[in-house]
Structure 1
Amino acid sequence: MSVLMRRAKPADLDAIMRLERDTFVNDAWPEAAMRRELESPHGYYLVAVDDAEEDPDRRLHGYAGLLAPSGSVQGDIQTIAVAPFARGIGLGRGLMHALITQARRRHLAELFLEVRADNTIARELYDSLGFEQIGVRRGYYQPDGVDAISMRLAVPPAVTRPAASGSGASA
């Protein structure tokens, strides 16, 4: 298996929507809204795919999206989903790192997101990436009536280090 992370294309919409509906059963995005996100110049959507996979239901491993309007210093993580068969291997973390890197490239100072209060795995991931809780939107996710936890990340600067010397000698 070889998973490739790349920009989402309109041709990915059907697979994204299958995973969207399977993952977010009661609060999946409408297809028209997802299409607009993929086509927007302010969006940055990634898919993690195994193009060599013959089963079309197992080709898409995950997707994630960032909304970052031109000239803004703030962006929003719009969505992220990982297929059940691809969970637990760090793909969600990899997608989030890629979005944070893109936010840095777009000179964003802050990223925001909302997560279901009952999604402990996602909340732990966001906490580990440095997001902090800034509020609660009571009953936001409908029809389940689940609260949304609003989170913020001050986009960290790129970390640069000199290349390690292989000789072991120091100057």
Structure 2
Amino acid sequence: MKLRELVRGDAARCAELEMQLFAGETPWSKENFELEFQQPYNFYLGVEDENQLIGYAGIGLRGHAEDPEFEILTIGTDPAHQRRGVARMMMDNICHIADLKRAPIFLEVRVGNDPAIEMYKAYGFVHLGIRRNYYQPSGADAHTMKRDISTAHTAENTSEKP
């Protein structure tokens, strides 16, 4: 498996995976992904295996440069490749990026998506609240979660001070 930045040519495959993963909601289209890839404060990465994209994730940099925050915009893994470390590979990278900027990360995750919630907890995310009717058209609720600035990275930086 290989982690890489996504490009415009990946938009169709991302949209195909969205249809599989979020069919009962409003999955992003190829055009949505193309527009998202162009945004200057968004970063999209993916995992490919045997030259096929099997996972994708997007984060957005929010806030002021002096006090940044990240938001996970989307993340998904091909159902045929779930529970094989694909999402963790992307999450490792997302958390590393946030740690370099000393920034927290926010996300929403569907209530009842226990495997994803447990993975986020393993990365230090905590539950902040519920967003009612977040997913449309189903009206499903979402947990809002936050990962604070990594204490490991902060401790690392503190030890370098004179």
* Cα RMSD for the two superposed structures: 1.7
Q: Give the counterpart letter for 1:142 in structure 2.
A: Q
Q: Which runs of 5+ in 2 are unaligned?
A: 157-162
Give the percent of matched residue pairs that are identical in Structure 1 and Structure 2.
31
Aligned residues: 151
For 2:60, the equivalent position in structure 1 comes to: 67
Structure 1 stretches of 4+ with a deviation exceeding 4 A read: none
Q: Which runs of 5+ in 1 are unaligned?
A: 54-58, 161-171
Q: For the residues of structure 2 that align with 1:108 and 1:99, how far apart are their CA atoms?
A: 12
Q: Give the CA deviation at 1:77.
A: 0.6
Q: For the residues of structure 2 that align with 1:109 and 1:102, how far apart are their CA atoms?
A: 9
CA deviation string 1:60-89 (max 9, x = no partner): 110111101472511101111000111111
CA deviation string 1:82-125 (max 9, x = no partner): 001111111111111111111223x1421100000021111111
Counterpart among 2, 8, 15 of residue 6 in structure 2? 8
Partner SS for 2:34: helix
With normalisation by structure 1, the TM-score equals 0.81
Q: For the residues of structure 2 that align with 1:36 and 1:93, how far apart are their CA atoms?
A: 25
Q: For the residues of structure 1 that align with 2:68 and 2:144, how far apart are their CA atoms?
A: 18
Q: For the residues of structure 2 that align with 1:117 and 1:27, how far apart are their CA atoms?
A: 16
For 1:42, the equivalent position in structure 2 comes to: 41
Q: For the residues of structure 2 that align with 1:18 and 1:94, how far apart are their CA atoms?
A: 21
Residues 1-171 of structure 1 aligned to structure 2 (within 5 Å): 3-25=1-23, 26-50=25-49, 52-53=50-51, 59-69=52-62, 71=65, 72-105=67-100, 107-156=101-150, 157-158=152-153
Q: Give the counterpart letter for 1:66 in structure 2.
A: I
Contact 1:75 1:108 in 2 (8 A): no
Higher helix fraction: Structure 1 or Structure 2?
A: 2
Partner SS for 2:57: strand
Partner SS for 1:29: coil
With normalisation by structure 2, the TM-score equals 0.86
